[in-house]
Amino acid sequence: MLMRLIKTIDDINVANRKVLVRSDLNVPMQNGKISDTARILRSIPTINALASKGARVIIISHLGRPGGKRTPELSLKPVAEALEIIINRRVVFGKDCIGPDAQKAIDTALTDEVVLLENLRFYNAEEDNDESFADQLAALADIYINDAFSCAHRAHASTEAISRRLPSAAGILMQAELDALSSSLELPAHPLAAIVGGAKISTKMAVLGYLVERVDQLIIGGGMANTFLFAGGYDIGNSLCEVNMADQACKILEKAISEKCEVVLPSDAIVANDFVKGATTKHVSINAIPKTSMILDIGPASIHNLKQRLAVCKTVVWNGPLGAFETEPFDLGTNEVAAEVALLTKAGKLLSVAGGGDTISALKNARVIDDFSYVSAAGGAFLEWLEGRTLPGVAALLQNQ
Ligand code: AMP
């Protein structure tokens, strides 16, 4: 398994060493205030673990897209203040992420204090994966820990080049992500199902192409199922459909046959003429969609079918909602299937991993976000992993072992 090949913080002696930790502290900000501290909270286990092992912790992160310019609104200073309260330990803020100001912050910090350096993306060199910028980052520390899986799909100086300069290991959050991802697709317990929903097939072609080679059942829902139904000759009325992707949908279906993967499409739907909250809805079979209607959710027969299928699965990977979940009552299909996954997971019968795009909000809406085995907080990185791509941040860690 991937994680067995990568060192963790338990494999490196960090006591009294300067440890540069790449966290993802890219929190949402509104009027200079942090509106959601979830990313800070997820970074805490690694910071605390390193501090308790006697490491001198120096945290680096990006915030927003300053495009290489020093942008006061995108300073990490408010994050340093929030972090200090959360970890109950003094956080020394460095006004720069490299050079004398960074060094000064590190020198000022007492042994049990933590340093947070200014936004990496104030330098274009960060996103350019610039070698001399990485040299300057590396000069600040003895060891590098990557705890930002959510940034691992980008080859940036703080996620890639740095790892070629210092002894490196994965942080606790990175480790948890890689463990969950490996156990769901790399060496999964079978039967393995993937649930892929969401609006458009065009954004998920690579995901479908990769999954079809690996999973036993590919369950397709949401707007993207419409294109498959259209390609299969069904009249889907006014439903969202990418007509120009019909050929690609057929190719996935053909590949599924050769890969012995069963593709599961909805057999019934909840339709409405208007896409508004509380719209008048109708339950119809998939071969009786009225011309004026849109498919906005899977129907009860499809829900029942998915529940039965999941009951005999051992692993499920989920990305994307099964209907237009933001608008009631079109969240019902996603909610019911998510509740079943949660139930089976809690009963120890299913390993469930979800992530990417709108999946987190859909599972939050279904009130099951804490009941899955693992919900990845990484949007883009999770999707790229679902496409079978090598994530540069992970590859760099693998090479540095
Ligand atoms: P994605 O970001 O690709 O996961 O897509 C999520 C979006 O797909 C959500 O905003 C849903 O409202 C939308 N969606 C899911 N099913 C449908 C549908 N049947 N018709 C229209 N939009 C849908």
What digits encode the pLDDT tens for the residues 37-55?
A: 999 999 999 999 999 999 9
Which pLDDT tens digit goes with each residue over 277-288? 889 999 999 999
Mean pLDDT, residues 158-176: 97
Question: Closest ligand 1 atom to the C-alpha of 200?
Answer: 3
Mean pLDDT, residues 370-385: 92
The verdict on the CB of residue 358 being under 6 Å from ligand 1 is yes
- Distance (Å, rounded) from C-alpha 331 to C-alpha 29? 28
Does domain 188-386 bear CATH number 3.20.20.450? no
The verdict on the CB of residue 221 being under 6 Å from ligand 1 is no
The verdict on the CB of residue 211 being under 6 Å from ligand 1 is no
Is it the case that residue 228 has pLDDT exceeding 90?
yes
Is it the case that residue 2 has pLDDT exceeding 70?
no
- Domain assignments of the chain as residue spans, ordered by start: 2-173, 188-386
Is it the case that residue 176 has pLDDT exceeding 70?
yes
Active site residues: 39, 200, 357, 380
The reply to whether 188-386 shares the fold of 2-173 is yes
Give me the pLDDT at residue 305, please: 98
The verdict on the CB of residue 357 being under 6 Å from ligand 1 is yes
The verdict on the CB of residue 323 being under 6 Å from ligand 1 is yes
What's the CATH code, domain 2-173?
A: 3.40.50.1260
Distance 267 CA to ligand 1 centre (A): 18
Give me the pLDDT at residue 3, please: 62
Cα 376 to Cα 103, 214, 235, 363: the distances in Å are 34, 20, 36, 12
Distance 198 CA to ligand 1 centre (A): 4
Is it the case that residue 184 has pLDDT exceeding 70?
yes
CB 155 within 8 A of CB 29: no
- Percent of the chain with pLDDT strictly greater than 70: 99
Is it the case that residue 162 has pLDDT exceeding 80?
yes
Distance 326 CA to ligand 1 centre (A): 9
The verdict on the CB of residue 324 being under 6 Å from ligand 1 is yes
Mean pLDDT, residues 208-235: 97
Cα 290 to Cα 186, 273, 283: the distances in Å are 42, 9, 11
Is it the case that residue 4 has pLDDT exceeding 80?
no
| Confidence bin at 336 (pLDDT 50/70/90) | very high
Lowest-confidence segment of 64-73, 117-126, 380-389 by average pLDDT: 380-389
Give me the pLDDT at residue 185, please: 87
Which residue is closest in CA terms to ligand 1's atom 12?
Answer: 324
Listed in sequence order, the residues at least 6 apart from 388 whose beta carbon sits closer than 8 Å to its beta carbon are 206, 210
- Percent of the chain with pLDDT strictly greater than 90: 92
Burial class, 359, CB count within 10 angstroms (exposed 0-12 / middle 13-18 / buried 19+): buried
Is it the case that residue 128 has pLDDT exceeding 70?
yes
Mean pLDDT, residues 382-399: 93
Which residue is closest in CA terms to ligand 1's atom 23?
Answer: 324
The verdict on the CB of residue 295 being under 6 Å from ligand 1 is yes
Which residue is closest in CA terms to ligand 1's atom 1?
Answer: 198
